[in-house]
Amino acid sequence: MQRIIYFVLIVFGISVTLLFVLAGSLASPRMHLVGEPPKGFNVEQVTIDASGGHTIAGWFVEGEPEKAGILLLHSVRSDRTEMIGRGKFLLKAGYSVLLIDMQAHGETHGENITFGVKESEDAHTALDFLRRRVHRGKVGVIGVSLGGAAALLGKSPIEADAVILEGVYSSIEKAVENRVAMRLGRLGAYLAPLLTWQIEVRLDISIEDLSPIKAISTLGSPVFIVAGSEDKRTVIAESRLLFERANGPKELWIIEGAKHQDFHKFAGKEYEKQVRRFFQKYL
């Protein structure tokens, strides 16, 4: 019996240590040189002054004068290059596009990744910049995972004319639980609160501020929620709950077979069709 208890304590200790390391790695900055855009994607390099004292690095491409502008917000530990594919097809449809590196990502400075809270300041600032650059003044947003959380969190949700949210977590507690369970199985449900607590302490951010499910009820824009049927990081139930809590007009699209991945690359032409349809309807 003592051996069993000893073994359990060892496993628990190792797990706690791993969670401590994991918490640090999840929030650590992912800054790096982005490099040049691909040939044929003729961008204007922009730097936007942010409220936090840093500058936001981005690419802007002007579309047709009568069309709206679309702000593209990347996922966690990524950068603006993740959104190039979306930018290209939207540009072909006539839209102006703005791709940015959110704080602590790519070429935009930041001390820590904050899972959407501080990133929301960059999203708001970039949207204001985009609205000034497009002739019609209408703007839409595509936020992928972290990018979608950034569109919802902060002092208030983003004030766009249409918003697409892809694979956005419902709450940080659920996001952590899902990810720890993928690594540790059932044990993850018991250890996840330790990781959640560390995030709160390390980042000095209240767990209450990391709740897209609460924020979405105050979003004043038409919203299109996109989810993957096989996503284990943001499960379908979370996306359905976000949809239920959102105000209208609202739409939900579950992509069969998709995991927590680039939905544009996975669904291809169907993704482009759905996105164009939604933006044509509201922009």
Please give the pLDDT value at position 18: 57
Model confidence band, residue 186 (pLDDT cutoffs 50, 70, 90): confident
d(CA 225, CA 219): 13
Structure tokens at 124: 């708001």
Residue 22 clears pLDDT 70, i.e. is over it:
no
Model confidence band, residue 179 (pLDDT cutoffs 50, 70, 90): confident
Please give the pLDDT value at position 3: 62
Q: What pLDDT, in 10s, does the model give residues 68-78?
A: 999 999 999 99
Model confidence band, residue 177 (pLDDT cutoffs 50, 70, 90): confident
Q: What pLDDT, in 10s, does the model give residues 118-149?
A: 999 999 999 999 999 998 889 999 999 999 99
Worst-scoring range by mean pLDDT, 13-27, 193-207, 251-265? 13-27
**Residue 241: count of CB within 10 angstroms of its CB:** 18
Residue 8 clears pLDDT 60, i.e. is over it:
no
Prediction pTM value: 0.91
**Residue 67: count of CB within 10 angstroms of its CB:** 20
Virtual CA dihedral for 158, 161, 165, 169, nearest 10 degrees? 30
Q: What pLDDT, in 10s, does the model give residues 229-260?
A: 999 999 999 999 999 999 989 999 999 999 99
Instruction: Average the pLDDT over 183-211 and give the result.
Output: 81
- Over the chain, what HEC string results? CHHHHHHHHHHHHHHHHHHHHHHHHHHCCEECCCCCCCCCCCCEEEEEECCCCCEEEEEEECCCCCCCEEEEECCCCCCHHHHHHHHHHHHHCCCEEEEECCCCEECECCCCCCCCHHHHHHHHHHHHHHHHHCCCCCEEEEEECHHHHHHHCCCCCCCCCEEEEECCCCCHHHHHHHHHHHHHCCHHHHHHHHHHHHHHHHHCCCHHHCCHHHHHHHCCCCEEEEEECCCCCCCHHHHHHHHHHCCCCEEEEEECCCCCCCHHHHHCHHHHHHHHHHHHHHC
For residue 252, list its beta bridge partners.
225
Instruction: Average the pLDDT over 210-222 and give the result.
Output: 97
Worst-scoring range by mean pLDDT, 8-12, 152-156, 169-173? 8-12
Domain ranges of the chain: 1-31+172-205, 38-170+211-282
d(CA 99, CA 86): 10
**Mean pLDDT, the chain, integer:** 91
Residue 202 clears pLDDT 80, i.e. is over it:
yes
CATH of domain 38-170+211-282: 3.40.50.1820
Q: What pLDDT, in 10s, does the model give residues 40-66?
A: 899 999 999 998 789 999 999 999 999
